[in-house]
Amino acid sequence: MKQNITLSIEKDIIKKGKVVAARRDTSISKMLADLLKGMVENDERYEAAKRSALQQLKKGIRLGGNITWKREDLYER
């Protein structure tokens, strides 16, 4: 479902935006909608990656190797 919004933008930016939109064979409204959609999608991907990274940090990462020594072997007391 689409919904209209009202924006306050400087007149010179609107004028230049219309030129850019015409070159791209689109409208200012479509350009702004696509920009906002991209920003929301990027934020959602970032949050998903952040959740995944935090989950992996909590789980820990096995780097391999075996401990074949005892602490007492390394340090004399």
- Pick the closest to residue 30 from 40, 41, 18 (CA basis): 18
Helix (H, G, I), strand (E, B) or coil at 3: coil
Q: Which pTM value belongs to this model?
A: 0.71
Instruction: Output the tens digit of pLDDT for each of the chain's 77 residues.
Output: 999 999 999 999 999 999 999 999 999 999 999 999 999 999 999 999 999 999 999 998 878 888 888 888 888 76
